[in-house]
Chains A and B, each alone.
Chain A
Amino acid sequence: MQPLSAEQTMTTRWNRKDLLGLRELSAGEINLVLETADAFKQVGTREIKKVPALRGKTLVNFFVEPSTRTRTSFELAALRLSADIINISAEASSLTKGETLKDTARNLEALHADILVIRHSSAGAPQFLAERVSSSVINAGDGAHEHPTQGLLDVYTIRERRGRIEGLNVAIVGDILFSRVARSNIFALTKLGARVTLVGPSTLVPREFEKFGVTVSHDLESVLPQADVVNLLRIQHERQRNEYFPGLGEYIRLFGLTRERAKLLKPDCLIMHPGPINRGVEIDSELADGAQSVILDQVTNGLAVRMAVLYLCGGIAA
């Protein structure tokens, strides 16, 4: 896939009310979000960090699955755009009283919510909502499907540090099968011309992924020397059924980014992690805080990227 030139990007128009995933976005649309985020990132450095872009609009953070980091990031992004915000968590919603997702959505719409940000454990739940409400729907993570704003903030961070995406070698390490972050990263990175290698145990990185234009490897040490970016995914051992790998000890032995293994990395290789980190599991604690780590940049950039997404989709929904 050829990334678009700057000129082509400038002419790309945003016409989506919803952001459900990155698979359906063009390279031009992804670049448009990144460029819009550039402008909003600059806002974050001002003394007054607020712009009136979404003044008078109502945003509902509808988090059926628990999340602190993503919810807070969306909340702050909406506040900086001057939107009014309500947070609804699974425990507080009527879903626990047996209300269907459809009815919950229609009730939120009846309150004239302009933007619904949804986190849900079921793949496809944001699309389900988007087909049934006129509000703008933003996917904040659905099952193992997509987490598009995480994918966007990851490519934003890489582009910020390296100046480009095209031609870079990006290794994504860990539980790929159950990871929505991995899928959104794969779609964004391949559309923008990066070479993506997925690394992890054979049970969590099935060969099926090679159909999507990426390489699958089960040998981390052979991948690290070429990598321009290493993105370490969280091992969700609290959720994983234990048949997928024998235990954390063996996982660390094969796939943990230890200090010893980090010596294989190029000096300018970026180390990323979507958080929350399991220190000493996916990544050595010192490396997480080291010079190559851009983990906190990801958090900062997430705010700018989410402002861009809310601004673009919110503008269409109006």
Chain B
Amino acid sequence: MNATIIRNGRIIDPANGRDEVGDLLIVDAAIADLSQLSSVNSPPNEIDARGLIVAPGLIDIHVHLREPGFAWKETIATGALAAAAGGFTTVVCMPNTSPAADSASTVTWIKDRARDTACVHVLPAGAISKNLAGEELAPIASLAHSGVVAITDDGHCIQNHELMRRAVEYARMVGLPVLDHCQDYHLVGNGVVNEGEWSTLLGLPGWPAAGEEAIVMRNILLAELCQHHIHCQHISSAGSVRLIREARARGVKISGEVCPHHLALTDASIETFDPKFKMNPPLRSERDIEALVDGIADGTLSILCSDHAPHAAFEKEVEFDKAPFGIIGLETELGLFIDILVHKRRAISIRRLVEMFTVEPARLLNLDAGTLSLGAKADVTLLDPDMEWTVDTNLFRSLSHNTPFSGWKLRGRAVRTIVAGETVFAL
């Protein structure tokens, strides 16, 4: 019997309504009752968690791990190391690999690769349409059987509302949640930055907020029509928050997620044409940030995630309009979210933040994770919500360093990450 005891931490386990200082016992990779300590034959491994928060292992439902096909940007192994360093024990990887995760064989390959190389749980999302082309349905039932936890065409967006309607209906049959990257291709055109004052000033093609909101609205209508849940990925605009809030109040099965860069930065950052500030959807205005924060505070937006999107330096270091979209986020997201949402804006408590990284994603994707219930898999994250630290890309585990947050001073971070009873990261 292999045992670990985490002493004197503030145990926050929202799934069980628990928030108290105490000890947490792990026996043989599972959460155990403290009474079992007496029956452990060898002395347990002791971890002092005084002043720390002991939380269920955190879940990030939106990451790009780039394997298969783009291993120079990231691998499942390095992406998992970055996740562990960021406090995450479970990540959901997007299907825009090469080949795309649109078949049972590719999904199986990803799962095998994760089992062999990843230090955290890597759960694949499958494609909605074949090759993410938005033209015909991927074999959604086969994907479900091969073990995807959701379907999405992330990075792309099905423009044909009829095809999307059938995808949602079909997904309901096999019990898979549908995630959607909300982008109307006609409204967005070749837009690369938020359409507004800065795009006008700099002459960069604008990506209007309406290009996101039109698809959020479409998804609300389809969620009602099909009576199945649709989750809107990386929400960036005030209008989207309003639409989701109104629809949820009516009981529509719709939800939304927020990435840290959409809270930390506005489109004023693009003044120097630095592609580190280029992401999709783009950075927007202070007004949008305030609406996102309000949406997080009142529960309209229930999920926090990174949209971790690694790109090699040589790919990003090109003309702004030619650079790929996206930044990495796994190793900075927790610090940014705690710093912004808990400390600076006081929008949510640390307890709610833990809930948004555990109970909420587990419920959305029907995951067996996100709790410290007795007998649960011992995925645990130790957080220091007040630790001040400086982002140093030299310390990143990710293969790529495309972040605009290098040098930022943040307050709050994960200090230890435990997956199935084993420490996979410790500061």
Contact = CB atoms under 8 A, between A and B. Distances in A.
Interface in B283-323: 314, 317-322
Contact of A183 (B196, B203, B319): B203
Contacts of B205: 144
Interface in B61-107: none
B163 to A, nearest CB: 24
A208 B203 contact: no
Interface stretch (A36-44, A118-126, A151-159): A118-126
B204 A123 contact: yes
B416 to A, nearest CB: 40
B317 A102 contact: yes
B273 A146 contact: no
B319 A101 contact: yes
A123 B202 contact: yes
Residue from A122, A143, A183 whose CB has the most chain B CB atoms within 10 Å: A122
B202 to A, nearest CB: 6
Nearest to A144: B203
A124 B204 contact: yes
Nearest to A207: B200
A26 to B, nearest CB: 17
Contacts of A146: 203
Residue from A120, A123, A145, A180 whose CB has the most chain B CB atoms within 10 Å: A123
Interface string A271-285: 000000000000000
A20 to B, nearest CB: 10
B197 A128 contact: no
Contact of A208 (B197, B204, B320, B321): B197
Contacts of B319: 101, 120, 122, 124-125, 128
B203 A212 contact: no
Contacts of A211: 197, 200
A33 to B, nearest CB: 21
A206 interface: yes
A100 interface: yes
B284 to A, nearest CB: 14
A127 interface: yes
A162 interface: no
B263 to A, nearest CB: 24
Contact of A124 (B196, B197, B202, B314): B202
A98 to B, nearest CB: 12
Contacts of A259: none
Interface string A91-118: 0000000001110000000000000000
Contacts of A125: 319
A34 to B, nearest CB: 24
A244 B321 CA distance: 21
Contacts of B204: 123-124, 143-145
A143 B317 CA distance: 18
B272 interface: yes
Interface in A184-241: 206, 208-209, 211-212
A164 interface: no
A137 to B, nearest CB: 13
A23 interface: yes
- Band of interface residues on B: 10 to 19
Given A123-B273, A124-B273, A212 B320 contact: no
A143 B318 contact: no
Interface string B16-36: 000000000000000000000
A167 B179 CA distance: 56
Given A127-B272, A128-B273, A122 B321 contact: yes
Contact of A123 (B203, B314, B317, B318): B203
B1 interface: no
B320 A123 contact: yes
Interface string A257-291: 00000000000000000000000000000000000
B201 interface: yes
A60 B204 CA distance: 26
Contacts of B202: 123-124, 145
Contact of A143 (B200, B203, B272): B203
Residue from B196, B202, B317, B321 whose CB has the most chain A CB atoms within 10 Å: B202
A178 B202 CA distance: 11
A275 B114 CA distance: 60
Given A100-B314, A124-B319, A209 B200 contact: yes
A102 B273 contact: no
A46 B204 CA distance: 43
A298 B196 CA distance: 32
Contacts of B322: 122
A297 B192 CA distance: 38
Contacts of A183: 201, 203
Nearest to A182: B203
Contacts of A145: 202-204
A20 B201 CA distance: 14
B395 to A, nearest CB: 25
A100 B273 CA distance: 16
Contacts of A144: 203-205
Contacts of B314: 100
Contacts of A178: 203
B198 to A, nearest CB: 10
B200 A180 contact: no
A128 B270 CA distance: 13
B196 A208 contact: yes
A212 B201 contact: yes
B193 to A, nearest CB: 10
B210 to A, nearest CB: 14
Nearest to A211: B197
Given A208-B196, A209-B200, 17 more contacts: A100-B317, A102-B318, A122-B319, A122-B321, A123-B204, A123-B273, A124-B202, A124-B321, A125-B319, A128-B320, A143-B203, A143-B204, A144-B203, A145-B204, A177-B200, A208-B200, A212-B201
25 contacts: A100-B318, A101-B319, A102-B317, A123-B202, A123-B204, A123-B273, A124-B202, A124-B204, A124-B273, A124-B321, A125-B319, A127-B272, A127-B273, A128-B318, A128-B320, A142-B203, A143-B203, A145-B202, A145-B203, A145-B204, A146-B203, A206-B200, A208-B196, A208-B200, A209-B200
Interface of A: 23, 100-102, 120, 122-125, 127-128, 142-146, 177-178, 180, 183, 206, 208-209, 211-212
